Each structure stands twice: as C-alpha cells, then as structure tokens.
Amino acid sequence: MSDARPMRYTALHHAAVLVGDTGRALAFYAGVLGLPVDPGRPDLGYPGAWLRIGDQQLHLMELPDPHADAPRPAHGGRDRHVALAVESIEPVVRALDAAGVAYTRSRSGRRALFCRDPDGNAVEILEAGPSD
C-alpha cells in the first residue's frame, strides 16, 4: 500500500558551496557578511564549516570544484547563486565597501545586490520583510 499524500516541502534546510580554503571563505562569510559559525559540524572527512542563517544553514565544503575554470558572467544574478535575506541591506553595503568587495545592484530595482566570495561563488543579498 502506498502513501498517497502529496510531497510537501516546508523549507530549504541548507545550501552548500564549494570553497578552496575554508579559512579564507570564513573570513568572507563570517568576517564580512557576519554569518555565525555553527560549531555542530561533525568531521566529514574534509574541511569545511556550517554557518547559521536563521533556521537554515550555509555549508562551506572545501572540495575540488569541477567547474573552477568555467567562465562566469559579471553579474551574479545570471549565475548559480545563493540568496540571503536581510532586514536592511545598508549594513551589508557598508561591510562590503569596507572590505573592498565588489558588488552589483539588482537590475530589477529590488533592494538587492550580488557579490562573489573569494572562490567566485555568486551571493545575492536582498532586503526582505517577514512576509517576503
């Protein structure tokens, strides 16, 4: 007998990005963007870190990137990316400017920007209210 209930997803638990150096990636994600490190990451047999974003996580995995040499578009919105919601984008802009991290504003007119981490992964940061 099969369970006929529809599949109902409730949240995105985590997203993962490949990084070449966990320490360098943490300097960006925790140091510049201010994401807290989750100390509960077990030994997975390779370096990495888990970062908290509300009830979700961003996993940094220090593993070879099979697409490291692939050309990337200048604007991160036209590339694979993770999107992080913030209450206000202005503190992020100040942090990126202070760290010398380049970014582009969203082309849609939303209060959002796109930047790249030290490994070239695109990150979108958007201002979103509780109902967005």
Question: Is residue 132 predicted with pLDDT exceeding 60?
Answer: no
Mean model confidence pLDDT for the chain: 93
More confident residue, 9 or 103: 103
- Under a CB-based contact definition with an 8 Å cutoff, are residues 36 and 67 in contact? no
Judge contact between 98 and 104, C-beta under 8 A. no
pLDDT band at 111 (very low <50, low <70, confident <90, very high): very high
pLDDT tier, 2 (very low <50, low <70, confident <90, very high otherwise)? low
- Condensed to tens digits (0 to 9), the pLDDT of residues 16-69 reads 999 999 999 999 999 999 999 999 999 999 999 999 999 999 999 999 999 989
Domains in the chain, start-ordered, CATH in brackets?
Answer: 14-64+73-127 (3.10.180.10)
Rounded Cα–Cα distance for residues 51 and 31 (Å): 12
